[in-house]
């Protein structure tokens, strides 16, 4: 009776997009000096840090709307891979104070992004088929 995969896709899209959007808004309000530091500390050019605005603000809006959600989910997955690499590169298997992996949150967003890429945006999206 309640076997509608399109509703499940909508829930995944809204959860991923809204929760990630909070991170983007925080970066807009407080700046990205920490991301710039991590980027340059890893030997990468500082301008790459500005990609965080795309990955954590623009892309979540696309995901929420279901507008090119597969492409947006790939961009978000790459953003999360960079977050894991830059912030936790040497401690991928380290555990935090509560026993969870320190990469738990970015890993969760990465897995949801890959899931969205594989599933697609579903019927309840701007560019549904």
Per-residue pLDDT at 128: 76
Does a structural domain hold residue 67?
yes
39 and 49 Cβ atoms separated by less than 8 Å: yes
Does a structural domain hold residue 36?
yes
Cα-based angle 111, 113, 117 (whole degrees, multiple of 5): 115
Does a structural domain hold residue 102?
yes
* Count of domains forming the chain: 1
Does a structural domain hold residue 86?
yes
Per-residue pLDDT at 66: 95
Cα 57 from Cα 91, distance rounded (Å):
27
Output the tens digit of pLDDT for each of the chain's 129 residues: 566 899 999 999 999 999 999 999 999 999 999 999 999 999 999 999 999 999 999 999 999 999 999 999 999 999 999 999 998 876 777 787 888 888 889 999 999 999 999 999 999 999 876
Does a structural domain hold residue 13?
yes
Does a structural domain hold residue 127?
no
Quote the strand ranges of the chain, DSSP E. none
Per-residue pLDDT at 62: 97
Quote the strand ranges of 3-72, DSSP E. none
Does a structural domain hold residue 129?
no
What residues make up the domain containing 92?
5-119
Q: Which two tokens stand for residue 17?
A: 């997009």
Does a structural domain hold residue 125?
no
């Amino acid at each position: 009776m309640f076997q509608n995969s399109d509703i499940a896709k909508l829930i995944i899209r809204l959860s991923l997009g809204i929760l990630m959007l909070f991170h983007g808004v925080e970066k807009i309000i407080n700046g990205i000096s920490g991301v710039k530091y991590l980027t340059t500390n890893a030997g990468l050019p500082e301008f790459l840090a500005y990609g965080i605005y795309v990955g954590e603000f623009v892309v979540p809006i696309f995901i929420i709307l279901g507008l090119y959600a597969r492409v947006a989910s790939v961009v978000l997955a790459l953003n999360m891979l960079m977050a894991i690499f830059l912030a936790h590169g040497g401690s991928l298997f380290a555990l935090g104070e509560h026993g969870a992996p320190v990469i738990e949150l970015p890993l969760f967003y990465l897995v949801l992004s890959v899931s969205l890429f594989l599933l697609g945006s579903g019927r309840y999206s701007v560019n549904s088929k």
